[in-house]
């Protein structure tokens, strides 16, 4: 059975926090975007059964809001190594993951670099401006999360608002 990998950059956060970068929470726009993306996933019947999430406040809040829109929340694992991780570190994390549909919520530049690496030239064409906040790339693999991937869809808050990429 094919497996789905969802790469999600956390939603838009406030610009600063007195407690530092790790403690930055989502802005009002970020909360709206995360809820909208969760509703889109539900409408597409793409329901993650496992989640690897950076422990930063903005990544955890993105996960919480997005998962509230789903019929069932995935098994959640907060991974210290995902905070500001490189694409290689993120790829290592997903390679050891279980499940049929895995969502990884992390940070740029690593998450955007991984999205482009897995999607190849096709990803670069779809997201030529990079990997904005709350951008989601969906990949399919016929084997494991350590195998080869095929890009199925890319969605951003802007594309949802514009009516693009509405279905997979």
CA distance 23 to 18: 8
Asked whether residue 46 is assigned to any structural domain, the reply reads yes
The answer to whether residue 111 scores a pLDDT higher than 80 is yes
Q: What is the pLDDT of residue 123?
A: 64
Domain interval for residue 49: 3-162
pTM, entire model: 0.93
CA distance 89 to 111: 10
Q: What is the pLDDT of residue 125?
A: 60
Q: What is the mean pLDDT of residues 19-45?
A: 97
- 148, with CB counted inside 10 A (0-12, 13-18, 19+), is exposed
Total domain count for the chain?
1
Q: What is the mean pLDDT of residues 143-160?
A: 84
Asked whether residue 84 is assigned to any structural domain, the reply reads yes
Average per-residue pLDDT for the chain: 90
- Note the pLDDT tens digit of each residue in 62-105: 999 999 999 999 999 999 999 999 999 999 999 989 899 999 99
Q: What is the pLDDT of residue 166?
A: 47
Q: What is the pLDDT of residue 116?
A: 87
Confidence of residue 149 (pLDDT cuts 50, 70, 90): confident
Asked whether residue 74 is assigned to any structural domain, the reply reads yes
CATH number at residue 83: 3.40.50.1240
């Amino acid at each position: 059975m094919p497996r789905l990998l969802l790469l999600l950059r956390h939603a838009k956060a406030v610009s600063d926090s007195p407690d530092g970068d790790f403690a930055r929470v989502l802005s009002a726009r970020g909360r709206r975007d995360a809820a909208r993306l969760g509703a889109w996933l539900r409408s597409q019947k793409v329901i993650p059964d496992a989640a690897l999430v950076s422990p930063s406040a903005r990544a955890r809040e993105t996960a919480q809001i997005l998962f509230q829109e789903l019929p069932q929340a995935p098994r959640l694992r907060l991974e210290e190594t995902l905070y500001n991780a490189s694409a290689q570190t993120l790829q290592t994390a997903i390679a050891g993951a279980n499940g049929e549909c895995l969502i990884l919520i992390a940070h740029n530049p690593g998450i955007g670099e991984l999205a482009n690496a897995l999607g190849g030239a096709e990803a670069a064409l779809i997201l030529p401006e990079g990997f904005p906040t709350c951008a989601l790339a969906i990949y399919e693999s016929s084997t494991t999360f350590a195998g080869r991937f095929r890009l199925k869809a890319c969605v951003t808050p802007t594309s949802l608002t514009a009516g693009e990429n509405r279905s997979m």
